[in-house]
Amino acid sequence: MNADIRHLAPFRSLISQRFGLAMPERFDRLLPRALAKAMEIAGARDAEALCLHLETQPWTAPAWQAVIETVTVRETSFFRQSGWWDSLVQAALKPLIEARRRDGSRHLRCLSLGCASGDEPYSLAMILHRLLLGEPGWTVDVVGADLCQATLTQAQAGLFDARAVQEVEPRERELWFRPAGRQRFALSEGLRSRVAFRLFNLAEAAEAARGGAQVAAPGAPADLVICRNVIIHMEPSRQPGIAHYLTAQLRPGGRLAVSPVEATASWFAPLAFEATGQAILFTKPDGRPAPQRKPRPAPPASEPAAAPPPAATPKAVAAPDSAARLARVRHLADLGLFEEARRLCGQILGPNAEAELLMALVCQALGDIASAEAAARRGLAAAPHSPAAHYVHAIICLRTGLTAQARRSLRRAVELLDNAQEGKQLGAHLAIEANEIRQAARRLGVGLAGQAGAGGTHDRPH
């Protein structure tokens, strides 16, 4: 059976309705194959008959699962973005463990949404084993949830290629893995038994909850929910509702980890925003007075100059006075004080590309996408050869649904990285790393021949 090109538009719309997934043009190469495969499984005579069949079927049905497996790209690995994991340990896992020690429960629940082949929840289980060191009396539940049954079956089997485990430390690889053929590794039963996997449609659950139904995510209420690069690939109209649903899946005092492009504070109210290192976290109030903690030192901002700065050719390097203010802006943003950060950032704009890019990220967090887009364009114009500028521009393009432009910006950022061979840190106040840019590019299929789908581990509908 041949997929009827005339029916790709209603097929695309049906997928979007069922899973909340935005369907940009990069799906065009995958949709005919998904349509043909689903037609074969359903025994449909043509595309119109298939769409009528799918409308009556649950998303767990074989034909729907064939579609899901085809239009999602499963690029993932253990301890992906190692700096992010380091930040998660310090800002989320250690405080949560200490809180459960204090309340005497010694029970920790963690949920990984968009887990694909299980690399993320298995990485989490390894870290928790390391942190608890066999301390008696603990119950630790780690759940991985995904929309695709095929990937969950792969996760449960626990077989991984060498690329997937390359970031695993040698001692942990020796502890948890054994060779299973050429460039293949099998995960031990001891670790596989620590993670449960569940089939779950995040968009459907969020929509049901919006209608008043009580639909809990697997493992909820959880102490930690990891949901990176999921919301950004949903239809813009559904993104706030999905974010709101995620806030309800946390226990008091729990943490939610999302990606920077999804860190719009208003979406997750009343959760408290915190940026620490490379991790973006939102913390649910626990009803107790917040502990007094000494804020991280930040240079004070000097008073703005009485006269505007003289006209000059835009430069990506900040002047010494601006550098102190930029550090202050970053500090305020890390504390979730976005309005204050925005006001201070507005005092140091002009020929400063890094200030413009910081302004773009702060405005995005505030939900002011129009101002974020304008600042990102100014930053890019001021520093056209900066990989970080193209990356920030791509983030804002994704928020506005301009996926093709985002891919172009990411492609240019990767080209600049390859040509300039820049160091790991691309901006002291932006905290953007080369590896972060490359991984974002891979998630959107940039530079990956033949791959163009819903993205990587967390870039998929649920």
Which CATH number goes with the domain that contains 339? Answer: 1.25.40.10
Q: Is 109 among the domain residues?
A: yes
Which CATH number goes with the domain that contains 157? Answer: 3.40.50.150
User: According to the per-residue pLDDT averaged within each range, which of 8-12, 238-242, 457-461 is highest?
Assistant: 238-242
224 and 263 within one domain: yes
223 and 148 within one domain: yes
pLDDT digits (tens, 9 = 90+) for 263-317: 888 899 899 988 777 888 999 998 765 544 444 444 333 333 333 333 333 333 3
103 and 157 within one domain: yes
SS3 content of the chain, % helix, strand, coil (to 5): 50, 15, 40
pLDDT digits (tens, 9 = 90+) for 225-252: 999 988 888 888 899 999 999 999 999 9
Q: Is 159 among the domain residues?
A: yes
88 and 52 within one domain: no
Q: Is 330 among the domain residues?
A: yes
Instruction: Tell me the C-alpha to C-alpha distance, in Å, between residue 133 and each of 83, 130, 137, 318, 321.
Output: 22, 5, 12, 46, 47
Q: State which residues form the domain around 130.
A: 82-283
Q: How many structural domains comprise the chain? A: 3
pTM: 0.77
SS3 state at 187 = strand
Q: Is 288 among the domain residues?
A: no
Decide: 197 and 152 in contact? Cβ < 8 Å: yes
Q: Is 62 among the domain residues?
A: yes
The predicted model gives 110-118 an average pLDDT of 95
67 and 86 within one domain: no
Of 235, 236, 242, the residue nearest 268 (C-alpha): 242
57 and 94 within one domain: no
pLDDT band at 356 (very low <50, low <70, confident <90, very high): confident
What pLDDT is stored for residue 186 in this prediction?
97
Q: Is 312 among the domain residues?
A: no
The predicted model gives 132-160 an average pLDDT of 95
273 and 149 within one domain: yes
59 and 196 within one domain: no
180 and 64 within one domain: no
